[in-house]
Structure 1
Amino acid sequence: MIVYTVTGTVGQAGYLDIANSGDITGKNIYVNMTNRCPCNCVFCLRQTKKMMEGNTLWLKGGDPSVDQVMEIFDAYDLNVINELIFCGYGEPLERLYDVCSVIDKLKAKYPNLKVRLNTNGLANLIHGKDITPELEGRFDTVSISLNAPDAEEFLALTRSKFGIKSYDALKEFAVLAKAHVKNVVMTVVEKVMPEEKIEICRKLCEELGVTLRVRPFES
């Protein structure tokens, strides 16, 4: 699925192709543009859940082109939705410039469109430079997966190809993003870590000047 909504139990009736989603008024609409990701998280749904045929976010045909994504959106009025979210199985910013192109085209038509990014925060390592200026004027919210209270545990959980420097990189990404996006949050997943570690993450976010959100665990 490239464009979808979320409802019900994730992995069963949870992901619905926008074509099967009925009235999209007030809904969050998700955009899945790549399978690629520098992480291989132990709790990722790639590892923990086998999705039903026809209900999977895995892009069997490879990454869709910008034109393919826009063709899907041409059939809908995005004025009525709540929020557009770049998410999916892969890391959206693997395709930074294509994502930006889609947003620019959509915002030309829907200037008040609310857009969120769900990211692992490693885009600056992916691209070898600070890409956060590209987020300005495009994203209203950036949500970064923090996942752990320290660099060692982060690496053990995410198995990032960038190694131990990944944790400091995502913290730096959060700080840099604040200069360009009004709402920057970091997330952890409940049940993946004990409450005392979540509190460490909460204090870290306070130090960085961002908000911590505890996401429900999807089993």
Structure 2
Amino acid sequence: MTILYTLYNNSYIDIVHIQNKKGISFYINLTNRCPCECTFCLRQTKEMMKDNSLWLKKEPTTKEVIEELSNYDLTLFKECVFCGFGEPTERLDDLLNIAAYLKQTCPKLSIRINTNGLANLIYETDITPRLKGLIDTISISLNAPTAKEYFELTRSRFGIASFEGMLDFAVKCKRYVPHVIVTVVDIIGEKKISQCQSIADRLGLYLRVRPFEE
């Protein structure tokens, strides 16, 4: 079970196998659970689910994650990112407990969450105040410029309202998280990227365009 990993030569690799850990980002893999079934997501293929090292046979406990973290000199790393095969905010309490441990152990370590931005819909309440002082950056998948296209891509269990829920979450995060980013993948094309940039500008958010990875 891979709990802590990094990206190396376009592959996922357990950080235990990385000799020089200075300046790298490491990722915490908490869950397979996700409220979306995105058409582009690798988790939709049985081969990836069976063979990929990030697919968890069981979710690690908070204690197991902290025990793994205690094996490393955290001052070496550039950033900790909560991101795995599932949506990390599905385990919000555990995520924030681990983030609190990291802040106590290594206050200068930057902490990011990569998320679909649907946490407020998952918990039916505004969870963003709980991020204050623990999360430095939150990266939210915008995916598309309209609610219809977003729902067609993500197939979120929350339906067409997911798009506005995600945008509302992003705006609320600005009150408590220093860096709020929304992301799209370059494969959507220049026109849609421009439309997404307009949304980000209107809401006061930074848009990051990510390269598509097959």
User: After TM superposition, is the score higher than 0.5?
Assistant: yes
The secondary structure found in structure 1 opposite 2:99 is helix
Aligned residues: 213
Q: Is the 8 A contact 2:138 2:181 kept in 1?
A: yes
- 1:118 alignment counterpart: 114
Q: Which runs of 5+ in 1 are unaligned?
A: none
Q: Is the 8 A contact 2:25 2:80 kept in 1?
A: yes
Q: Is the 8 A contact 1:41 1:157 kept in 2?
A: yes
Task: Tell me which of 194, 201, 212 is aligned to 1:199.
Answer: 194
The secondary structure found in structure 2 opposite 1:84 is strand
Q: What per-residue deviation string (whole Å, max 9, x for no partner) do you get for residues 163-187 of structure 1?
A: 0000000000010000001110100
Instruction: Give the CA deviation at 1:8.
Output: 1.1
Task: Tell me which of 37, 56, 64 is aligned to 2:60.
Answer: 64
Q: What per-residue deviation string (whole Å, max 9, x for no partner) do you get for residues 146-175 of structure 1?
A: 000100000000000000000000000010
Q: Is the 8 A contact 2:49 2:55 kept in 1?
A: no
- 2:141 alignment counterpart: 145
> What is the 5 A alignment of 1:76-115?
76-115=72-111
Instruction: Give the CA deviation at 1:50.
Output: 3.6
- 1:155 alignment counterpart: 151
For 1:49 and 1:173, how far apart are their aligned partners in 2? Answer: 31
Instruction: Give the CA deviation at 1:51.
Output: 4.0
Farther off after superposition, 101-110 or 155-164: 101-110
Instruction: Give the CA deviation at 1:49.
Output: 8.4
Q: What per-residue deviation string (whole Å, max 9, x for no partner) do you get for residues 3-25 of structure 1?
A: 1010112xxxx100111122211
Please give the TM-score of this superposition, normalised by the length of structure 1. 0.94
Residues 171/82 of structure 1: CA separation in 2 closer, same or farther (3 Å cut): same
Instruction: Give the CA deviation at 1:207.
Output: 0.4
Letter of the 1:115 counterpart: I
Q: Is the 8 A contact 2:43 2:49 kept in 1?
A: no
* CA RMSD, 1 decimal: 1.4
Instruction: Give the CA deviation at 1:54.
Output: 6.8
- Looking at secondary structure, tell me which structure has more helix per residue: 2
Matched, 1:31 2:28: yes
The secondary structure found in structure 1 opposite 2:92 is helix
- 1:215 alignment counterpart: 210
Letter of the 1:196 counterpart: K
- 1:8 alignment counterpart: 9
Instruction: Give the CA deviation at 1:47.
Output: 2.8
Q: Is the 8 A contact 1:83 1:115 kept in 2?
A: yes
Instruction: Give the CA deviation at 1:81.
Output: 0.4
The secondary structure found in structure 2 opposite 1:171 is helix
- 2:18 alignment counterpart: 21
Instruction: Give the CA deviation at 1:113.
Output: 1.3
Q: Is the 8 A contact 1:16 1:55 kept in 2?
A: no
| Identity in percent | 51
